[in-house]
């Protein structure tokens, strides 16, 4: 593997990123959607293997108080090789010193994030655009 790391948006093929997100699987997000969210995120990481995009992640942040890690994805063929952990580590280094760093994980993936210091919050709440789907996927539960 010839792994290359970048935080630049200059050479991102947004369709390639959308295909990666779908394959990961992290849902069906359009290239336009991903361009918007990655462009508006203060920090981002892209991973290429011999020129092919195989991983990505981002942190939406305000500069000092709060950061949110999101869209951490690895192509299935590259999962289990530590790339996801390296993305998390790089993003956490970018937001070092922030008062709080948040994320929400795909149900069942919480143990991975626990390795990096994340813990369940007792007061976290959310409003999703599709509340029904969020309940079905296990992101929300009844109080």
pLDDT digits (tens, 9 = 90+) for 54-99: 999 999 999 999 999 999 999 999 999 999 999 999 999 999 999 9
Q: Is the pLDDT of residue 1 over 80?
A: no
d(C-alpha 21, C-alpha 73), whole Å: 6
User: Which is more confident, 114 or 142?
Assistant: 114
Query: Considering the domain boundaries, does residue 23 fall inside one?
Result: yes
Query: Considering the domain boundaries, does residue 35 fall inside one?
Result: yes
Q: Domain count of the chain?
A: 1
Q: Is the pLDDT of residue 103 over 80?
A: yes
Query: Whole domain around residue 87: which residue ranges?
Result: 3-103
Say which range, 53-57, 68-72, 114-118, 120-124, has the weakest mean pLDDT. 120-124
Query: Considering the domain boundaries, does residue 135 fall inside one?
Result: no
- Predicted structure pTM score: 0.91
Query: Considering the domain boundaries, does residue 59 fall inside one?
Result: yes
Query: Considering the domain boundaries, does residue 125 fall inside one?
Result: no
Residues 6+ apart with CB under 8 A from 45: 5, 6, 7, 55, 56, 57, 58, 87, 90, 91
Residues 31-56: what's their mean pLDDT? Answer: 97
Query: Considering the domain boundaries, does residue 121 fall inside one?
Result: no
Arithmetic mean of pLDDT over the chain:
94
User: CB pairs under 8 A, 24+ apart, for 115-124?
Assistant: 115/85, 116/85, 116/88, 116/89, 116/92, 117/92
Query: Considering the domain boundaries, does residue 90 fall inside one?
Result: yes
pLDDT at 108: 87
Q: What angle do CA 135, 139, 141 make, to 5 degrees?
A: 55
Residues 23-39: what's their mean pLDDT? Answer: 95
Query: Considering the domain boundaries, does residue 120 fall inside one?
Result: no
CATH number at residue 36: 3.40.630.30
């Amino acid at each position: 593997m010839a792994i290359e790391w970048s935080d630049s948006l200059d050479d991102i093929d947004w369709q390639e990123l959308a295909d990666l997100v779908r394959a990961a699987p992290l849902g069906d997000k359009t290239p336009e959607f991903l361009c918007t969210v990655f462009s508006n995120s203060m920090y981002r990481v892209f991973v290429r293997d011999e020129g092919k995009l195989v991983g990505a992640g981002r942190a939406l942040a305000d500069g000092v108080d709060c950061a949110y890690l999101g869209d951490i994805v690895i192509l299935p063929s590259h999962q289990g090789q530590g790339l996801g952990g390296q993305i998390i580590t790089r993003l956490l280094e970018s937001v070092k010193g922030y008062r709080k760093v948040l994320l929400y994980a795909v149900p069942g993936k919480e143990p991975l994030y626990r390795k990096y210091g994340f813990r369940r919050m007792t007061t976290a709440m959310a409003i999703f655009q599709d509340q029904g789907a969020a309940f079905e996927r296990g992101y929300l539960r009844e109080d």
